[in-house]
Amino acid sequence: MRARVSPARRPRWSAIRALVTDVDGVLTDGGLYYAENGDELKRFDVRDGQGLVNLREAGLLVAIVTRKQTTIVTRRARDLGITEVHQNVTDKAAAVRDLLARHAVAPRDAAYVGDDLGDLPAMRLVGLPIAVKEAVPQVRRAATYITRSPAGHGALREISDLLLASRPSNNRRTKEGSATSQPRRSSN
């Protein structure tokens, strides 16, 4: 399993300006809950949410691209301050390409986090393809990095912490003592 970011790959991580993620099986554990009335429910991890907020506050573009359309995802994105939310997407690579172009981010300077076959085209487009540890074998093979933490249980926080730690300004502040290596906690 690829769990650590090797020194040779750290420059790639520090160049990342955008993180795009799938939802089901990445931001969630992939399970679906149905209420008695038929409503679909999803479980989101607070640590993952805080990681996405930390990236956004550090100036990275954070976006969601997902095949399904649900108000739950809209609400979660709003709670995290994520304005780029693309649902009901059948061609994720085209959606990511358009999103990056609108924000003037080169694909090589973007990361995409996925878990299943529908994510492969978008993963092949970006400079930093990432898979959660439960991803299907084809996605794991396409990934530059595979998380240690499970999907929906800290995988996005793991990725966000690695991205932020790879940034030269973060390392400099930490060494000088004006910032800590522990991001602040919130109720996200």
Tens of pLDDT, residue by residue over 130-143, are 999 999 999 999 99
User: Could you tell me if residue 33 is inside a domain?
Assistant: yes
Domain residue limits at 77: 18-150
User: Could you tell me if residue 175 is inside a domain?
Assistant: no
Q: How much is the pLDDT for 169?
A: 66
Q: pTM (2 decimals)? A: 0.85
Rg (CA), the chain: 16
Q: pLDDT tens digits for 42-75?
A: 999 999 999 999 999 999 999 999 999 999 999 9
User: Could you tell me if residue 157 is inside a domain?
Assistant: no
User: Could you tell me if residue 85 is inside a domain?
Assistant: yes
What distance in Å separates the CA atoms of residue 125 and residue 110, rounded to the nearest whole number?
9
Which CATH number do you get for residue 146? 3.40.50.1000
- For residue 121, which amino acid is it? P
User: Could you tell me if residue 7 is inside a domain?
Assistant: no
**Tally of domains within the chain:** 1
User: Could you tell me if residue 185 is inside a domain?
Assistant: no
Average pLDDT across the chain, whole number = 88
CB 163 within 8 A of CB 61: no
Write down the residue that tokens 């986090």 correspond to. 113
